[in-house]
Amino acid sequence: MAKGQIKELVEKYLKTFLEENNLELYNSEFKKEGRDWYLRIYIDKKDAEKNQYVSTDDCEKVSRFLSECLDKDDPISQNYMLEVSSPGMDRQLFEQKDYEKFTGEMVDVKLYKGIEGCKEFQGILKGIKDNRIEIEEAEGKCRFFELEEVAKTSLAVVF
């Protein structure tokens, strides 16, 4: 089964279960690392405030449910490890809704190709519009990045 089909299948299995438990699928990935395959599921609180987090009990419930579905239907031919977790404090932003939800938060932006000799930027996420994200750096300078230039955007962990 192709990676895209596995993601779709996971979404199908989890849709109703997550809704019933006030959770949402943040992201999923099926990837090979070394000799092993991993099916990683990232869940988040549905319609949560920015400071509400997924508990280990939430992860365990989702893991047990999904594991039962996968064991019953056995759609994945290779051996893999199932991992269910929260997106974490340094969660990566993937979709428009992620950028909208975390507008006003400090983010780290990593680019594929450097600008002015730099590939990494940090600032307050000001928003996203027409596939361009805007951040305001510490010195007040605003920068715009086309989404296709961005390798990764994640919440900054600031202590």
Question: Any idea where the domains of the chain sit in the sequence?
Answer: 3-85, 96-155
The residues facing 143 across adjacent strands are 135
CA dist., res. 33 & res. 47, Å (int): 32
For residue range 75-89, what is the model confidence (pLDDT) as tens digits?
A: 888 899 999 999 988
Q: Which CATH number fits domain 96-155: 3.40.50.170, 2.160.10.10, 3.50.50.60, 2.30.30.100?
A: 2.30.30.100
C-alpha 155/C-alpha 84 separation (Å) is 20
DSSP class of 43: E
Single-letter residue type at 16 = T
Q: Give the homologous superfamily in CATH for domain 3-85.
A: RimP-like superfamily, N-terminal (3.30.300.70)
DSSP state string for 81-138:
EEEEE---TTPBP-SHHHHHHTTTSEEEEEEEEEETTEEEEEEEEEEEETTEEEEE-T
Question: For the segment 98-155, what is each residue's pLDDT rounded down to a tens digit?
Answer: 999 899 999 999 999 999 899 999 999 999 999 999 999 999 999 999 999 999 999 9
pTM recorded for the entire structure: 0.83
